[in-house]
A and B are shown apart, each in its own frame.
Chain A
Amino acid sequence: MTKLDQIFVSTKHWLVGLAPEMLQSLASILLSIIPIMAVFGGCFAVTTILERKGLGRIQNRFGPNRVGPFGFLQPMADGIKMLTKEDIVPFQSDKVMHFLAPIVLTVPIWLAFSVLPFGRNMVAVDFNAGILFFFAAGAASELAVFMAGWASQNKYSLMGAMRAMAQMISYEVPLVLSAIPVIMIAGSLSLPQIVEAQAGYGAGWFPQWHVFTPWGLAGFGLFLVAATAESNRSPFDLPEGESELIAGFLTEYSGFKYALFFLGEYLGLFAISGLAVTLFLGGWHAPLPILEWLPSWFWFFVKFASLIAAFIWVRGTMPRLRMDQLLNLSWKFLVPLAVLNLFVTAVWHFSSNWQSFGGLAARWLMCGGLLAAAYVLLGRSLSRGQGTPRKYTYAE
């Protein structure tokens, strides 16, 4: 059992041991990087095809089913197409920036994977401020998006980039604010330790994941909404809204650079889903004690895959928001709720010795009630005036 659980770790140690003394640290680094790139690169290919098929099913279509068995070789065909397409650089563009933007987008996202624990002892860098590093690396992608939009010398690109900036800055706030309660409770910035904090089972079977607490549930919801916006996915895909901006900051990109942007976007989604699993869904812990015989990395990827499926599901359901609605949602709803969640978390933390049945109920009622009331009230104020015909002041 532990053998299977630790199979990747022990294989790595064995392989590193084979290398000469001098090169061992280098080998260790490479053996951490290459599997991560291979696994998540593969995930990217599989996700694109599954997403297209899933969206098809949601719309009562088949989705791609022509290339290979059931269309599963479609990503390869797409890859070949992308690689062989002409790489057009606009004459007036800032050539260096235009070239650098896709690279600047993908590199920090790869870096973000290095602090995620994929299983027991399976973290590339056990960094004691891992979550901080993760957010710092994730924020660097904003720079790349703006670089792309600015360097393209195109109105659509610039508008897309502006939107992307506004959106990412607004949603970075609730994203980080919704992660802070976890740090407060776990008392650590290190992701493996946050996972450790969710170990064990209450009453012998109930998993102690953060999502099963009032503040954790609220935080998880907030985190998912903010994460969707951060990874530029529908319904928050305004920066590349095809209907109004062609493809936003991607307008002037073609061929392999476009593919890199695409890759970066999906990797960002993977990274943030991995973080959501780590922060709220108990990381690599099994949901029930009797299921613990399955390896830890298996549980991580099960949770990870279900989150990705949820993102695809949401993408297939929601229409795109308008810019003002987008910003309203962040500043008038998510941010206040996230700040309140900090308070609720503090209450939860200081009431941790109410372990009697009545005490637990009171604790749940208090924290959950506060959040639910805030949700209803904020929601009502957010949707005030919605659903009534819109009044145009100047455009009569």
Chain B
Amino acid sequence: MSDTTLDGLAVQLRRDILEMLYRCQSGHPGGSLSVLEILMALYYKTMKTDPSNPQWEDRDRLVLSKGHGCPALYAILANKGFYPREDLWNLRQLGSHLQGHPDMAKTPGVDANTGSLGQGASIAVGMALAAKYKKASYRVFAVLGDGELQEGQIWEAAMSAAHYKLDNLTFILDHNGLQIDGSNDEVMGLGNVMDKFAAFGFECFDVDGHDIDAIAAALAAPVSGKPRFVRCRTIKGRAVSFMENNAGWHGKPMNAQEFESAMKELGGKQNG
């Protein structure tokens, strides 16, 4: 797929995300919009997956450790054909396979349950270790939030990833600078995350997190003998001006006017 097509697709996926969230009047717009290009780089450029066979053994695995960003993942999985796009409109409803947070037992294409922050990185470590043991060639990616990095378990995962030299494992950081109660700096300063992951033994990359090619390049660079860390500089609420860089839009439902103005600003085709 050419990159102009991906830019156009990003607009359509953002429309889907907002429509899903507007319809269910709950969920997390800010972190879904910031993580979109990261997931697009993974699903349209980097990862081997097979929508007709979600459980394919040799597929690459994704753990969306910041599970509340799942509307972005759900929109992509629908677009790739893991399930019909109409399913998106049942997000968070009783009986829907699209739960408020990712559920591998319910949603085709979801590789791990997340939502309780801090746990996904360890699950990814386990998958990467299993691949090494099985001599399988698949790669494992964990997408983390910056607030999520405050969980001690993340650093236990990082320590074990380096210890076991998991060069089939990548941690990708959605570094939007915000969490719920404010900025990372106000709530609990993270210090220099590049230095921290380097000190933990990772090969580190620093990219514009809304540049799909740059993200894909960092994911493709050869790394051996150590795990990879890609810091993606992102904007929370990306592409909807009243949400951008505003912690208040972490988990707030849109009213009708807000939804309309957001969709107008995004442009693109009317959703069918």
A binds B: no
* Chain A residues in the interface with B (C-beta under 8 A): none
* Chain B residues in the interface with A (C-beta under 8 A): none
